[in-house]
Amino acid sequence: MSVLIFSIHWQVMVVLLPLAGAIACFLWPRRGVMLALVCALGTTLSVAGLSWLVVVEGAQRYTVGGWGAPLGIDLYVDGLSLLMLIVTSVVGVAISVYANGYFERSRARAFWPLWLFLWGALNALFLSADIFNLYITLELLGLAAVTLVALAKGAQPLSSAMRYLLVTLLGSLLFLLGVALLYHSSGSVDIAILAERLSASPVVWIALGLMVVGLLLKTALFPLHFWLPQAHASAPAPVSALLSALVVKASFYILIRLWLEIFPPNNFVLGQLLGLLGAAALLWGNLQALRQTRLKMLIAYSTVAQLGYLFLAFPLANIIGWTGALYMLLSHAIAKAAMFMAAGNILRFGGHDSIADLDRIVQRLPLTVTTFALAGVSIMGLPPSGGFVAKWLLLEAAIRSAQWWWGVVLVLGGLLSAVWIFKVVGYAFTPSPVPHEVRAVPASMEWSALALALTAIALGLFSSWPLALMMVGLPFGEGGGS
């Protein structure tokens, strides 16, 4: 058994299985659902195998083509990348189950191969240790995501997909320009080699600046978030879920990778600036969320806000802060996916998602409301939930590094999000005299969303395992934990 586990090249499986699944779904569209579910399962198992490998043997470097950096391309997996892969699998399986109930046949035919392509792109991105390879995975990811947004019917999804496409291309090109400059100043595109060879020079700073701006554009950090709310709100519900949960996180992942590995050490000002933008995102996103009249738009603005939390780790710049931000990423991914799925259920059930008229709907969908409320607990950061653990760690980092003002922002953000969450949950406690015209919601849609929300809660009770996992390979550097 263990021989088998160690002899299979799980890294390769993790990337190739979704791609192969996408091709299979393309070839035999009528079998799409079955193929996709099998593939989702296989990918998850591969991630599990890879986790086993990494937990037992530590961080892994894999040379594709046998050449090794700088000539060839390396794959690198440590606790940080593994955690991203696991989140992707967890959310991915739930979204696959959910989408099975969500799409009718004609759109399902388009959805499955695109979604599997996106999954493959995500996995390739998290594994890559090569910045040019990262560019290609970014493009793969971006094109798949844009097309998925455009799968929704109507003019608005198309417009927002178009805007999203332009933004993501712009981001990729900025990133690529940075890659070009880094290659020419160091002669390699491998992250580890870059880390050795780069020193703080104007070229390096300009290159990194370009890459950071490109990635921030894709991560939709305030004030570059202008494209996100509409794109995430107008996409089909499972797509909204995976965009908010995973796609924006992918570019953030690259950002922290670069920050931790190849950024010159004296980056205090940039860190403070990122933190400031994060704080602004947190407050602005939540305030905008309060103003929204449509549920999905509200949730999308909350994504803008929650992304702000992630950037608070940059000024804190200690291990507790990074683990906090990563834990936030993890729990937000899961909770937000659950929330968008719940919104999808509500839309399916009542045919609209206007917040003012929710009272007629939510009382008839107790499971969905529970999902929303549980996910909301995590997003507010109340115990016991993943969001609480993340906030605790970030707050601890803020106090320990004597930068209490970030703590104030953290607390304020949590309270603001409570306002809109309870605004929605409150409708569950409103009598609904008029029976509304309803469509049944498939059980798979309700239960997959609830499963994710429960996972977000469980993350608050069993945090030691993911926290230990993300330390494999010391992605955040040496030094004592808490």
Q: What minimum distance in Å lies between the beta carbon of 463 and another protein?
A: 6
The DSSP output letter for 463 is -
Q: What minimum distance in Å lies between the beta carbon of 281 and another protein?
A: 16
Which of 42, 271, 384, 442 is in the footprint of another protein by CB under 8 A? 384
The answer to whether 379 contacts another protein (rule: CB under 8 A) is no
Each residue 229-258 as x (binds another protein by CB under 8 A) or -, in order, gives xx----------------------------
**Closest to another protein by CB, 159 or 272:** 159
Q: How far apart are CA 47 and CA 50, in angstroms?
A: 5
Q: What minimum distance in Å lies between the beta carbon of 288 and another protein?
A: 8
Burial of 84 (0-12, 13-18, 19+ CB in 10 A): buried
Q: What minimum distance in Å lies between the beta carbon of 420 and another protein?
A: 12
The answer to whether 186 contacts another protein (rule: CB under 8 A) is yes
The strand pair at 73-77 and 60-64 is best described as antiparallel
Beta-carbon contacts of 465 under 8 Å, excluding residues fewer than 6 positions away, are none
Which of 86, 110, 194, 347 is in the footprint of another protein by CB under 8 A? 110
Which of 206, 276, 290, 469 is in the footprint of another protein by CB under 8 A? 206
Chain positions 450 to 469 lying near another protein, rule: CB under 8 A, are 461, 463-464, 467
Q: Which amino acid is it at 337? A: A
Which of 5, 12, 41, 45 is in the footprint of another protein by CB under 8 A? 12
Helix axes 386-400, 319-350, angle to 10 degrees: 150
Q: What minimum distance in Å lies between the beta carbon of 69 and another protein?
A: 10
The answer to whether 60 contacts another protein (rule: CB under 8 A) is no
Q: How far apart are CA 436 and CA 387, in angstroms?
A: 35
Longest dimension (CA), the chain: 70
Chain positions 329 to 348 lying near another protein, rule: CB under 8 A, are none
Q: What minimum distance in Å lies between the beta carbon of 48 and another protein?
A: 19
Chain positions 65 to 94 lying near another protein, rule: CB under 8 A, are 65-67, 70-73
Which of 383, 447, 454, 474 is in the footprint of another protein by CB under 8 A? 383
Query: Would you give the end-to-end CA distance of the chain in angstroms?
Result: 36
Chain positions 124 to 183 lying near another protein, rule: CB under 8 A, are 124, 132-133, 136-137, 139-140, 143-144, 146-147, 150-151, 154-155, 158-159, 161-163, 165-166, 169-170, 173, 176-177, 180-181, 183
Chain positions 272 to 301 lying near another protein, rule: CB under 8 A, are 297
**Closest to another protein by CB, 15 or 441:** 15
Q: Which amino acid is it at 322? A: W
Q: How far apart are CA 424 and CA 405, in angstroms?
A: 30
From the list 216-224, 262-270, 381-389, 447-455, the region that binds another protein by CB under 8 A is 381-389
Q: What minimum distance in Å lies between the beta carbon of 100 and another protein?
A: 18
Which of 1, 2, 3, 202 is in the footprint of another protein by CB under 8 A? 202
Q: What minimum distance in Å lies between the beta carbon of 15 and another protein?
A: 9
> Can you spell out the DSSP letters for 308-338?
HHHHTHHHH-SHHHHHHHHHHHHHHHHHHHH
Q: Which amino acid is it at 136? A: I
Which of 119, 309, 314, 392 is in the footprint of another protein by CB under 8 A? 392
Chain positions 412 to 451 lying near another protein, rule: CB under 8 A, are 414-415, 418, 422, 426, 429-431
Q: What minimum distance in Å lies between the beta carbon of 2 and another protein?
A: 20
Chain positions 395 to 414 lying near another protein, rule: CB under 8 A, are 395-396, 399-400, 407, 411, 414
- Sequence length of the chain is 482
Q: How far apart are CA 17 and CA 33, in angstroms?
A: 15
The answer to whether 119 contacts another protein (rule: CB under 8 A) is no
Query: Residues 1-4: contacts with CB within 8 Å, 24+ apart?
Result: none
H runs (alpha helix) in 151-247? 155-186, 191-197, 202-219, 228-234, 237-242
The residue behind tokens 């936030």 is: 328
The answer to whether 305 contacts another protein (rule: CB under 8 A) is no
Q: What minimum distance in Å lies between the beta carbon of 382 and another protein?
A: 5
Q: Is 351 left (phi over 0), alpha (psi -120 to 50) or beta?
A: left
Which helix (H) or strand (E) element contains residue 479?
Answer: none
Burial of 106 (0-12, 13-18, 19+ CB in 10 A): exposed
Give the interface size with another protein as a residue count (CB under 8 A): 101
Which helix (H) or strand (E) element contains residue 62?
Answer: strand 60-64
What tokens were used for 46? Answer: 């591969």
The DSSP output letter for 73 is E
The answer to whether 261 touches 195, Cβ cutoff 8 Å, is yes
Q: How many CB atoms lie within 10 A of CB 358?
A: 23
The answer to whether 44 contacts another protein (rule: CB under 8 A) is no
Chain positions 358 to 377 lying near another protein, rule: CB under 8 A, are 377
